[in-house]
């Protein structure tokens, strides 16, 4: 069983922000950003890539609901939404989770931006295009 499944089941306590039949949202205990919230499906799936479309839609609906609440009712000016899929992408807990990072106009923006692209855009488009 994974740590998020233990949180969903109540074996591990959390600072719950929202809960419905399918989705749980709680504060990240890292305390790196005030209000850093994790939104998870209650049913285990490893990440976005293996989550069924119906559940993913429910998760994202909750992400939107909470994000709007933070901006409209809680004094934040915006949010960053983050999700990692797979170890190489930085996923550390292998249960789908979406990060909501509430922001204010004076919050430092510190997502890592790299200069690692090696391909020309037309070459990458040909490789990645869905037909």
Active site residues: 97
How confident is the model at residue 108, as a pLDDT? Answer: 73
pLDDT over 90 (residue 51): yes
Distances (CA, A) of 102 to 19, 22, 27, 128: 19, 23, 11, 32
- Pick the more confident residue, 25 or 108: 25
pTM of the model: 0.88
Tens of pLDDT along 52-93?
999 999 999 999 999 999 999 999 999 999 999 999 999 999
pLDDT higher than 80, residue 131 = no
If phi > 0 it is left, if psi is from -120 to 50 it is alpha, else beta; for residue 67 that is alpha
Domains and CATH numbers, the chain: 3-128 (3.30.428.10)
Measure the CA–CA gap between 125 and 89, rounded to whole angstroms: 21
Mean pLDDT over the full length of the chain:
89
Residue 3 pLDDT > 80, yes or no? yes
């Amino acid at each position: 069983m994974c740590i998020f499944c233990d949180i969903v089941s109540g074996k591990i306590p959390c600072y719950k922000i929202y809960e419905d039949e399918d989705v749980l949202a709680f504060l990240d205990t890292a305390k790196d950003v005030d209000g850093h919230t994790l939104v998870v499906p209650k049913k285990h799936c490893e990440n976005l890539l293996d989550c069924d479309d119906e559940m993913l839609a429910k998760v994202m609906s909750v992400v939107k609901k909470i994000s709007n609440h933070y901006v409209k009712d809680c004094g934040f000016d915006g949010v960053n939404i983050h999700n990692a899929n797979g170890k190489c992408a930085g996923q550390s807990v292998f249960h789908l989770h979406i990060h909501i990072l509430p922001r204010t106009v004076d919050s430092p923006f510190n997502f890592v931006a790299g200069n690692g692209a090696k391909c020309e855009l037309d070459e990458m488009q040909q490789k990645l295009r869905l037909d």
